[in-house]
Chains A and B, each alone.
Chain A
Amino acid sequence: MQFSNKGGSIARLFRLAGRTSWPYVLLLPTVALLFAFTLYPLLQGLWMSMFRRGLVVVPQVPESIPTFVGLNNYVQLLADKDFVTSLLRTVLFVVVAVPLQLIASLSLALLLAPQTRFNAVARTIVFFPSMISGLIIGVIWAWLFARNSGLVNYGLSLFGLPAVPWLEQDQLAQAAVVVAWVWGGAGFNMMILIAGLTAIPKDLYEAAAVDGTSRWRTFTRITLPLLEPSIVVVVVLGVIGAFQVYEIVVSLTTGGPGRATVFLVQNIYDTAFKRPDQAGLAAAQSGVLFVILMVLTILQLRVAKRR
């Protein structure tokens, strides 16, 4: 046999040891980086959330030196008006934007699911916003919503309507963020839903047609129930993403007017950088967001497993 004359027993032993450690060697870079930039920071963050401390500890700034406060930061958050408002605002955003995005992407999916060449091109166009950053999507919509040069107000003026100060009033600015967010993510979700639609057996529809079932009934009795797993994926991914909404706001409203579009993530940074003793408080806010995201992710995994 070939390997018997490849070398002595020491070399073979060496190679055997090499083979057992090989998978660990292969995994080392990934595990090391994930540890350094994800898992360790997560634990460090949870630990930080039990201290009153500065972002950077400077001996000359006494407030920045860590003092253990236990769960006091979390208690303090309950009375923190900025935090509570931004959390509720984020929840409201999730509750409004996610269903709207589901409706938009479901309509797009139903419209563009038939396999034609034209639809393939249309899908590509609708999908394209998924290729660009939230920051850029924000810029695109800031320009559309601009008060005195924007296309949206120009469209309104064609119908004799006055210019709307989209980004200058609280609710309008919040609505603008919702519109931009839904637009940016609709194509991605449409693709998930189209994959779900294509998996529904054709003969079910043929049977319904033979029975003379109305189109609405076909939709509610066949399409929707069989599409449920895809819908759940879209909703859960949407909720997870919407809880972290931030980038799109940076370029669309910078959190304004006032603090009307400051969501949870931005509030965390504001807290950390505003005063030299609030890094622990900011870490506690991150802890709250982490728990929310963890629950949602586990929910998603369980749904995925059920499929």
Chain B
Amino acid sequence: MRYLPSPGRVVAIAVVLILFVLPPLWLLLSALKPQAEIFQWPPSLWPEHFTLENFQKTISRANFSAYFLNSAIVSVSSALLSVAMSVMAGYALAKFRFKGDTVIFLLIMSAVMVPLQIVLIPVFLVLRDLGLLNTLWGLIIAPAATPTGVFLMRQYITGIPDNLLEAARIDGTPEWRILLRIIVPLALPAIGTLLAFNLVWRWNDYLWPFLIINQQEQWTVQLAIANSIGRFSINWPRLLSMTVLSILPMLVIFIALQKTLMNGLMAGAAKE
């Protein structure tokens, strides 16, 4: 039977779409207006004069491309590192029985109870002692271990048949080769999901850079946005264009991988 929505439902869906499309669309349209039109009252719903002026200024004067590059370097490196670590740890917990395996698993999972928000002050001291303050390395390494990632990989790798591994061992394949040649190729779907999640998480990080980075050359996109918000005055044309630019990579990832991202959540991964 074909599903036919009732008129009431159609209206409700229309309202929902307006509520969710309009806020980001309004941001985009405003960013495309010349400065004077941005603050005009009543506002023009559709820009009377389209311009890329705000974007050009943001990119050239506000040094935004450097922050963009920092964010890109950090997100990609940290995501790759995190996925590699999660595959290793997940594999160990899925396919090996060893002394302390349960304790280590519980220890890793208990870290979900400790968000960065509540350990910010001592973490700051650890970063200082490790010499990671004001380095992109700090942003790459510090958030890389995630219980969510380990859990996701452990669940997935548990499903890989044991006899594949045993056959390889009987053939005398070294352990590192089993990991790289059997586990990694077979776990690729989960690896892809986790990589996508990590890219999103790291691109959106605000607290880590807030804690680690003090020098302007090393700002990430989120830090640049937060720092352009003064308590009493805001440069809206700049902020609007920065915000639009910061959303673009997430929009691309989302369009490319929306099924993976939306269903990956269903597999039990939580928003970090």
Binding site for B on A (CB under 8 A): 2-3, 6, 18-20, 22-24, 26-27, 29-34, 36-42, 44-45, 48, 55-56, 108, 111-112, 114-116, 118-119, 122-136, 139-144, 146, 148-149, 151, 154, 157, 183, 187-188, 191-192, 195, 237, 241, 244, 246-247, 250-251, 254, 256, 265, 268-269, 272, 279, 282-283, 286, 289-290, 293-294, 297
Contacts and interface: CB of A to CB of B under 8 A. Distances in A.
B178 to A, nearest CB: 10
A265 B117 contact: yes
Given A149-B41, A269-B120, A135 B262 contact: no
Interface of B: 3, 5, 9, 12-13, 16-17, 19-24, 26-27, 30, 38-43, 85-86, 88-89, 91-93, 96, 98, 101, 104, 107-108, 111-115, 117-126, 130, 141-145, 147, 150, 170-172, 175, 179, 200, 203-207, 222, 225-226, 229, 231, 234, 236, 239-240, 243, 246-247, 250-251, 253-254, 258, 261-262, 265-266, 270-271
Nearest to A265: B117
Nearest to A271: B121
A124 B22 contact: no
Nearest to B41: A148
Contact of A251 (B130, B225, B254): B225
B226 A272 contact: no
B16 A126 contact: yes
Nearest to B143: A37
Contacts of A129: 20, 24
A41 B145 CA distance: 15
B114 A38 contact: yes
Contact of A2 (B43, B171, B207): B171
Contacts of B24: 128-129, 140
A29 B145 contact: yes
A167 to B, nearest CB: 11
Given A44-B125, A139-B243, A183-B23, A131 B254 contact: yes
Contact of B20 (A29, A32, A126, A241): A126
Provide the main secondary structure of the chain A interface.
helix
Contacts of B88: 26-27, 29-30
Which 10 pairs show the lowest CB-CB distances between chains A and B? A133-B204, A33-B145, A41-B122, A26-B92, A23-B96, A23-B92, A41-B119, A44-B122, A30-B89, A26-B88
Nearest to A134: B206
A192 B271 CA distance: 12
Nearest to B175: A22
